[in-house]
Amino acid sequence: MIIGIGGVSRAGKTTLSEKLKKRLKGNSIKLFNQDDYVKKTGLPIIKNHIDWEHPDSIDWKRLKKEVRAARATTAFVIVEGLFAFYDRDLARTYDHSVFVQIDREVFFSRKSRDLRWGKEPAWFIRHIWNSYQKYGKLPRTIKEVIWVNGAMHTDLDPLVRLILAGAGS
């Protein structure tokens, strides 16, 4: 089973993925974080700043190859990232589509405090939000979506039950 988890930066995608991984313990699980598939060279640039927020920053070929390989040997494959639904071929493989939502104000508040890569300029934080609006939204072709409010605590029990029911467990 493949689960896609998308949403804007700092929405809680990685946190949700890690919690799901713990809750599905006892099953074989592989987690794919798109941040781990950023290209080594040829990254897009904006205003002399590496543009991690553009789909061209991802090594899609490697990510899709590894997801396909994991699907053959792993009970649960979780793919999470800002661009989780950008590549239509990858998105079509998802058995469940999860979207973690936060509003603009929550995003700006969280992102302005995020110092993992140093302090980001305000223009780049706005750029991240705009890139999410352009590339990170759900395509209209995905009809069944599990919506998660990333600004609030989420009870994982209903989500875990849905996933396990779909897996026949």
Kindly report the CATH number assigned to the domain that includes residue 41.
Answer: 3.40.50.300
Question: Domain range spanning residue 125?
Answer: 2-164
Q: How high is the pLDDT of residue 27?
A: 79
Q: Report yes or no on 131 lying in a domain.
A: yes
pLDDT digits (tens, 9 = 90+) for 113-151: 887 777 888 999 999 999 999 999 888 888 889 899 999
Q: Report yes or no on 169 lying in a domain.
A: no
Q: Report yes or no on 111 lying in a domain.
A: yes
Give the SS3 label for residue 70.
helix
Burial of 120: CB neighbours in 10 Å, binned 0-12, 13-18, 19+: middle
- Which pTM value belongs to this model? 0.91
CB atoms within 10 A of CB 60: 17
pLDDT digits (tens, 9 = 90+) for 92-109: 999 999 999 999 999 999
Q: Report yes or no on 41 lying in a domain.
A: yes
